[in-house]
Amino acid sequence: MTDPVEVTIDSLGAKGDGLAHHQGKSLYIPYVLEGETVRVSPRGERAELEEIVMSSPDRTEPICPLFERCGGCALQHMARAPYHGWKSALVADALASRGLDAALEPLTGTEPGGRRRAVLAARLIGRRLLFGYHEAKSPRIVDVNHCPVLVPELSALLPRLADFLPLFMTKKGEAKVTLLATDSGIDVSLDHVKDMRGGQDYLKAVELAEELDLARLSANGEILLERRPPQISMGRALVSPPPAAFTQADKGAEDAMAEMVTTAIGPDAKRVIDLFCGSGTFALRLAENAPVWALEGDEAAIKALEKAWRFAPNLKGIKMERRDLFRRPVLAMEMKKFDALVFDPPRAGARAQAEEIAKSDVATVVAVSCNPGTMARDLRILVDGGYRLESVTPVDQFLFSPHVECVAVLRK
């Protein structure tokens, strides 16, 4: 271990850690701000914060007592305006690194208490249950019995859920706990837990789900009890997502992004494609105006979309197709009759798909992404194919984390 040293923070890196230099070497330090002078204990290329010697005017009081212990948040100590500026700069830097010159729209913010989906971890240590988020850059779990980022009903559930999780736990390994607050109640999906089929454990689990008034309880992908179908409204439709399936994490962010997508595509589009459509976040809203061809790799998500569409009033047709869009992207020639397209791939982006869109004549393309790096790569492909990058809007879907969502609009 090295003795503490005093350094000044030059900048914040893409993961929210401060970057300083000491004896010609880079040091990454969490929970600091640009311009601050701090005493730190170096450990390799990282350093632990010991003391803030001179703090930044951008520093603010964190809203959670677990901040700096729990790895769920990285940036609660930064005032809102510079925090938004930092997130926007992540997007601007990613675009600039690909030589893209786009006018960045102001960031769409979210508020504490707005996050409706969260994935937590649980582990038994002897008879003691640990249930919460991982520490930053560590497999260790920090017990969390209150989380101000979550919608209040999810935060209130955490200590009550902790009481009944031991029933599901195996002696070894870590369980994954996916929580989703829906319009009809909370949906709990447990993965890497005991097989609950048959026997007393199953009956106890059902009793506990009743006691917690859960909408649905699933274990290892299987629904144990559905007291009410968990439902999320998407435009005129009500979607019941599969257990632990992808859903946008913050309803405010989802609504803002859906509004950006539908406005960019506009009411005059005749036929629209939605790629990586999930359970229909965009397709169901776009189908209020135009027929949609919706493609997605996950069978269960497609089924949820199909059911939501069938019951929704006054929607145009949605043609649904399960397709692996990495291996078999929609080809430019298949896009001939379409005048608008939205694509919202996972973090890896959609290089092969972007190459096909670039060759097409689809007039309006909207790219939605949770990874500015892969988004910038894919936008470069589209711009090289003749698209004009009209706007890019950062969205702070993952409050206080270093992640940022984006919506980019392109025209040809």
Ligand X SMILES: C[S@@+](CC[C@H](N)C(=O)[O-])C[C@H]1O[C@@H](n2cnc3c(N)ncnc32)[C@H](O)[C@@H]1O
Q: Which residues are catalytic?
A: 370
Residues 314-333 that bind ligand X (CB under 6 A): 324-326
Residues 288-317 that bind ligand X (CB under 6 A): 296-298, 301
The owner of tokens 């629904």 is 223
188 within 8 A of 217, measured Cβ to Cβ:
yes
Q: Is 378 in the site for ligand X (CB under 6 A)?
A: no
CA atoms of 340 and 393, how far apart (whole Å):
19
Residues 149-178 that bind ligand X (CB under 6 A): none
CA atoms of 339 and 361, how far apart (whole Å):
8
CB of 353 to ligand X, least distance (A): 9
CA atoms of 130 and 143, how far apart (whole Å):
6
Q: Which is nearer to ligand X, 82 or 345 (CB)?
A: 345
Question: The sheet that has 175-182: what strands, in order across it?
Answer: 141-143, 128-134, 117-125, 175-182, 185-191, 216-219, 222-226
Q: Is 85 in the site for ligand X (CB under 6 A)?
A: no
The owner of tokens 């694509």 is 343
Q: Is 278 in the site for ligand X (CB under 6 A)?
A: yes
Q: Is 356 in the site for ligand X (CB under 6 A)?
A: no
Among 133, 276, 398, 400, binds ligand X (CB under 6 A): 276
CB of 354 to ligand X, least distance (A): 13
**Per-residue binding letters, 114-153, with ligand X (x by CB under 6 A):** ----------------------------------------
Neighbouring-strand partners of residue 25: 22
**Per-residue binding letters, 231-270, with ligand X (x by CB under 6 A):** ---------------x-x----------------------
Hey, what are 245's tokens?
């399936």
Q: Is 344 in the site for ligand X (CB under 6 A)?
A: yes
CB of 235 to ligand X, least distance (A): 13
191 within 8 A of 220, measured Cβ to Cβ:
yes
371 within 8 A of 345, measured Cβ to Cβ:
no
379 within 8 A of 408, measured Cβ to Cβ:
yes
Q: Which is nearer to ligand X, 157 or 335 (CB)?
A: 335
Neighbouring-strand partners of residue 177: 120, 190
CA atoms of 354 and 33, how far apart (whole Å):
37
Among 4, 13, 112, 346, binds ligand X (CB under 6 A): 346
CA atoms of 172 and 330, how far apart (whole Å):
43
How many helices (H) and strands (E) would you count in the chain?
Answer: 8, 22
What number of chain residues touch ligand X (CB under 6 A)?
Answer: 17
Q: Which is nearer to ligand X, 129 or 340 (CB)?
A: 340
CB of 41 to ligand X, least distance (A): 39
CB of 289 to ligand X, least distance (A): 18
The 8-class DSSP code of residue 353 comes to H
Interface with ligand X by CB under 6 A: which range of 69-77, 121-129, 273-281, 309-317? 273-281
The residue among 241, 184, 239 whose CA lies nearest residue 218 is 241
Q: Which is nearer to ligand X, 17 or 250 (CB)?
A: 250
Q: Which is nearer to ligand X, 123 or 285 (CB)?
A: 285
The residue ranges that bind ligand X (CB under 6 A) are 246, 248, 276-278, 281-282, 296-298, 301, 324-326, 344-346
